[in-house]
Amino acid sequence: MFGILDYLKLGAGVAGGLMLYHAYAVTIGYPSAAREARQGYVLIAEKTAAEARATEMERQRNAASQAVEDHRKRLEAAQAQEQTAKDTLETEIRSYELLLSEKNRACAVTAADRDWLLRH
């Protein structure tokens, strides 16, 4: 049915086809290798994105804790300043009352007046 020449032609055709496929694969790239490379790239990209998100969350957490700490310090300073102002006012009131009592004069400041002064 087939002669030796036909088998040689078939072999040459198969060899030529394999050579063409190999040339295609070398110039364009093996599809499986490209697929594996993309899959590895996707994993690396996802890992990098997750690390970036974690870093950003840690930065935000640190910034928030720093802001809370700064706010706490400012609040303590404001409370200390307010306490100092109250103490100064109390001292001034006492010294004024003492001055009036030394001159044998009564202080016309009532408790309601004193409370109003302390609030304002």
List the domain range (segments joined by +) for residue 76.
4-119
The pLDDT, as a whole number, for residue 75 is 97
Q: CB-based contacts of 95: which residues, under 8 Å, 6+ apart?
A: none
The pLDDT, as a whole number, for residue 52 is 97
Helices (H), the chain: 4-28, 31-102, 111-119
Q: Report the domain count for the chain.
A: 1
Angstrom distance (rounded) from CA 85 to CA 36: 73
- Tell me what percent of the residues of the chain surpass a pLDDT of 90: 47
For residue 95, the one-letter residue type is S
pTM of the model: 0.47
Q: How many CB atoms lie within 10 A of CB 65?
A: 10
Q: pLDDT (tens digit, 9 = 90+) per residue, 74-110?
A: 999 999 999 999 999 999 988 888 888 887 776 667 7
Is residue 29 predicted with pLDDT exceeding 70?
no
For residue 59, the one-letter residue type is R
Angstrom distance (rounded) from CA 37 to CA 58: 31
